[in-house]
Amino acid sequence: MSLIKISQIAVVALVVIAWLTQLFIPGVGMNFVTGLVVYLIVWWVALFTVLPIGITGQAESGEVVAGTEAGAPVAPQLKRKVWMTTVLAAVIWLALFVVLEFQLISLDDIPFLIDAHDWDA
């Protein structure tokens, strides 16, 4: 197994461990369910970002199968793209987890949010 594959597996394992710790060590930022929902949303957004990478259409390759769209991919490599999506989503989720859990940025730091007392008016 290559070093890149091992590091990818390590990142995904680190995310799973960080996510599962929220069951036993409740923190300030992200709980278990919130972590799962955030990961799933990030995973879907990352999937639609990764899908067009490396696609060659049938018209570009010169092998258009009768009855199919000429822009249909020749070899979509979905298994590889799902793995790339999982690793990318894990890295993004881990960054969000660190920011929220250690409160590196709080909602008070965002200038365009209105103050809490303005909601009472």
pLDDT band of residue 119 (cuts 50, 70, 90) is low
Predicted structure pTM score: 0.76
52-64 pLDDT, tens digit per residue, is 998 888 888 888 8
Q: Evaluate if residue 27 carries a pLDDT over 70.
A: no
What is the CA angle 52-53-58, rounded to 5?
65
